[in-house]
Structure formats: C-alpha cells, structure tokens
Amino acid sequence: MDGLRLTHTVKKGGCAAKIAAGTLTDLLRSLPLSSHPDLLVGRDLFDDAAVWRVSEDVAMVQTLDFFTPILDDPHDFGAVAAANALSDVFAMGATPVTALTILAYPLDTLPPEVLQALMAGALEVIHEAGAHLVGGHSIEDDTLKLGFAVTGLGHPQRLWTNAGARPGDVLLLTKAVGTGTLAGARKNDEIDADAMAPAIASMRQVNRLDLPPDLRAAVHAATDVTGFGVLGHGLHLAQGSGVTLRIDAAAVPLLPGAADTLRRGILTKAHTSNTRYVAPHVAGRKDLDEVAWWSLVDPQTSGGLLLAVSPEAAEAVLAHVRARFPRAAVVGAVVARGAVPLEVAP
C-alpha cells in the first residue's frame, strides 16, 4: 500500500460529498411524511436519527452514514467513517449497540489489504463506542465508499432532538471546526501529512459525552455538526425548536491550520452550497470577515456536537465535556425567535 492515496481516487470525500441541503430538501419535499404513535422522531425536523418507541422505557434510535474517502490512510478512513456514523446516535443522547457495514469496493483497483485496514480501523472505533459490528452489505463498485447503519437505545423521555432548545440556553460546541478546508488542502498537496494530523485525531474521536444524569438533563437539544457546517445544522436546530441561535463566530474553535487554509481560499463545493442554503436565514453576515464566515459553513466530517444547555448548568457541562474534548467552547446562546433563525456576530 506504499504511496497509495485514497483521496486521489475520488473527486469529493467525506461529508463534503453530501448532496447540498437545499437540493435535498427540494427533492424530498413531495414525499409524504410517515406518521405512527411509536414514531417519536422522523425526518420532518432534520434530526440526526430516527426514533421508534419499543416500550415505555425503551426507544430504538436508527441512523446510517457513508461516504467516499476523506483520508489517504485506509485505517484512519475506516475509523473516521465509523466515528461519523456513531455520532448520530450520540447526538440523540442514546447509546449505540449495533453497527452494520455499508461498503462499495473497487476490487480491480484496490488490493485486499486496503479493505482489511479499513475494517480494522472501523472496528477499533466501534468497540471504543461500546457497540458491536454484526454484519453488513458490500458491492463491487468503481469508487470506494464506506459507512455504517447504527442502532442505539435510549429512554423515550430522555433523548435529545432538534426540538428542545429554549430561550436562555447556552450553546456549546464540543469539537473545533475546519476538517473541510484541511482535507481539501491535503488532497491537493497544499498541506503535508503532519499539518493534517490534528484534524484526523479530531475526526477519529467518538462523540461520547458520558454526562452524569443531572448534567444530561440540562441538555435541552443537540445535533452533530457534519456536512452542512455549524450554521447548516444550527439552522435545523433553530427551526425545530422555534428559536433563534446567536452564534459568536470568534468563539467557534478552529483546528490548527484551518484559518490559514481558509484565508488562502482553499474551499470545497460544500462551502458554496452551504452558504446558499443558510444565507436567507442569517443576520449579521456582512459583519464577518471571510475566514469567520467560511469557518461557519465549513463541511465537517465526524464533527462535534452542538448542545443547547440550561444556563445554570452550562459551566458544569462544559467542564465535564472538556475532560474528553479540550477544545470544547461556548459559542453562543439561544434567544426567542426573531426575524431570522440565525444571528452571527464577529
């Protein structure tokens, strides 16, 4: 596998390869929404996963996620693909229990050692999350794609969704942003492997918070920040909760080197599509410089969790989260719904 660059086998990688949020919304608008007394969370509010009530005390949380390579090393790519899929379950406040592999593999162009390394990296992360790989499905394809369908369990009354944020809540972000611009820079050899290392470490990290019950109850809403960026996923949370999010752009942590690559204009197609999607819903954009704006729409792969937390408990939640995620930060606040669902400040 010497010299193999997985990112050079695809045009777009990671969550930056998502269909643009606006395009997806238009395509799905005509489809009827499902309704059932036990379907607690469906697709109407853009939540991270679906929730089905199994009993009064048990809810099943289901999600899937897959994408093309964002990293060159197959072991790292497998780990990040697993962490990214597991994140949706953690974002709902649930515990992942099983994972199923989704794999498209080009047998004619990639050796079997790559597949073995992919799955070894994925298994490390799945086991770290306390889940079990129980099967999957694979096809032969021209382009490598890897992901997982993950099932988790939680209490129906204690899950987090996009719909619970309250005016006065504090917004916490658990990971620094910038994976989109850094991955683009690395793919085009505009940064070296060492400069990419902090982003890889961040993407590999599982979004398990392990909050004690009192702090867990102080989280009113949550979402994970992936391909639509801080503002795209923040928009879904704001709309689901009927509130406005005030984002302090200067407080949003950036991965090392990300400010430089953004300043140099190293962007993905998703930076533009995310901007197009959120721009009609944002106040204050004209007050931000380009680096600040692009950081807020940077497409994250296996990004952090955006939490709306009771102000009384925010300091304690942040301290607990920082034990695992040292770059976690307060990035804004929730206010009563104003003229638009998002406000940004420099």
Q: Give the Cα separation of 293 and 277 in Å (integer).
A: 14
> CA 97, 310, 313 angle in degrees (round to 5)?
85
Query: Residue 148's closest CA among 130, 161, 162, 132?
Result: 132
Collect the ranges in the chain with pLDDT lower than 70. Answer: 1-2
**What is the pLDDT at residue 1?**
66
Catalytic residue among 15, 119, 318, 342: 15
**What is the pLDDT at residue 57?**
98
pTM: 0.96
> CA 280, 30, 161 angle in degrees (round to 5)?
60
**What is the pLDDT at residue 16?**
82
Relative to beta strand 342-345, strand 243-248 is: parallel
Q: Is 283 helix (H, G, I), strand (E, B) or coil?
A: strand
**What is the pLDDT at residue 15?**
81
Active site residue 93: no
Question: Domains (ranges, CATH) in the chain?
Answer: 6-154 (3.30.1330.10), 170-345 (3.90.650.10)
**What is the pLDDT at residue 248?**
98
CB count within 10 Å of CB 220 equals: 19
CB count within 10 Å of CB 7 equals: 21
Backbone φ and ψ of 343, nearest 5°: -125, 135
Report the run of H or E that residue 105 belongs to, with start and end.
strand 95-105
